[in-house]
Amino acid sequence: MKRIILILSVVFGLTALSPVQAQKSDKQISKQLKSKATKKAREEAKMYKKQGFYVAQGALPMDIQLENAWKKQLQEDQEGYPKYIIATGNSVSESQTAAKLQATETAKLELAGTITTNVLAIIENNIATQQLTGEEAAAVTKTVGASKNIIAQELGRVITLFEMYRKLNNGNLEASVRLAYDSKTAKDAAKKVIRKKLEEEAELVQDKLDKLLNF
């Protein structure tokens, strides 16, 4: 009886410790992430300042913006893939507002391009395992490849990681922005757009369409 009580005590003791150990592990990961982000942010901030960039009045300091940006860029999902898709946009205009808007739109198009490329790679892999004719496969590839602009329009709220500016010799202003978008949300948005376009243009039966977009 004493032996059973001893075994149970050990088991309950280990069970009680495991959440603490898990919590400690999470803290260690967070600390490592912050350290790496801080190092990269300092390096990048030094480079941007040397090039004449500055942040808008009232915005967070450049170092902090870049550190927050790198924290997002270094995050991974449970499968080890990047948690966020990142894109950068630059634009030159006569005003800060116009330069920022144009740079943001450029970054959104880059985001959409990355999303489209990633989804197309998955769909092409699915094409190889499905019984599609050569004509159907070509139609699918063409339709997905042409979806970038629509996906850019369908993107929801993007996260602005940083925005900075510099004055050029001709008096114009250059804006540089970096955006982030959740990878899972991006995939869902792309699937919605691509499904609609494939239904309209590729004329696939529902069963084949479901299998192609099964990701």
Q: What is the pLDDT of residues 77-101, one digit of tens each?
A: 888 889 999 999 999 999 999 999 9
pLDDT reading at 182 higher than 70: yes
- What percent of the chain lies above the pLDDT cut of 70? 85
Residue 87, both tokens: 């894109």
Q: What is the pTM of this model?
A: 0.76
For the cut 80, the answer to whether the pLDDT of residue 21 exceeds it is no
Is pLDDT of 200 > 90? no
Q: Can you tell me the mean pLDDT for 2-16?
A: 43
Q: Give 27-57 pLDDT, tens digit per residue.
A: 766 777 778 888 889 999 999 999 999 999 9
Both tokens assigned to 127: 């094409």
Query: Is residue 88 a contact partner of residue 109, using CB atoms and an 8 Å limit?
Result: no
| Dihedral of the alpha carbons of 81, 82, 85, 89, in degrees to the nearest 10 | -130
Distance (Å, whole) CA 184 – CA 149:
19
CB 91 within 8 A of CB 108: no
Pairing of strands 84-93, 173-182: antiparallel
